[in-house]
Amino acid sequence: MTAAIEKSIYLSAPRQAVWTYLTDAKKLGTWFHPSDTDMVAGATYTLSSQTDGERMCWGTVEESRPHDYLRWSFTVGPANGAMSTVEWRLEEIAGGTRLSLSHSGLPDTGDGFGLLLALDKGWHGFLMNLRQLSDDTPLAEAQPAA
């Protein structure tokens, strides 16, 4: 058995704009961690610390269905190479987008609980960064031409 983190937020931006903040390497770095590549299906990625450039997380983009669903394999140093799965679901709602995150395949042991807590806290903070970005600078204004 494994543990999972589930979170949803509401953003005052269309799905297409939110999608670019999940998949464009530079935009991902404005609220999460900078990526060495755009998050497209089949891409192997490394996300780095914004402060010192050190590798933070890495994996592969396993599936991409613009502007609805994105799935990554994902690990961090404390996971000792064990891969987990991060899934993003985007749902258009009146006035914006509901963005849902599911991070599954996490350890459900006493020893792994510290990692689970750290990831839960991290995702909460990063999603709040995205909400703040959405509130301060409408994401739709930053959307590249399709």
How far is it, in rounded angstroms, from Cα 125 to Cα 122?
5
pLDDT attached to residue 137: 73
Domains of the chain, CATH where assigned: 3-139 (3.30.530.20)
86, 77 Cβ separation under 8 angstroms: no
pLDDT attached to residue 94: 95
Low-confidence residues in the chain, pLDDT < 70 = 1, 138, 140-146
pLDDT attached to residue 146: 42
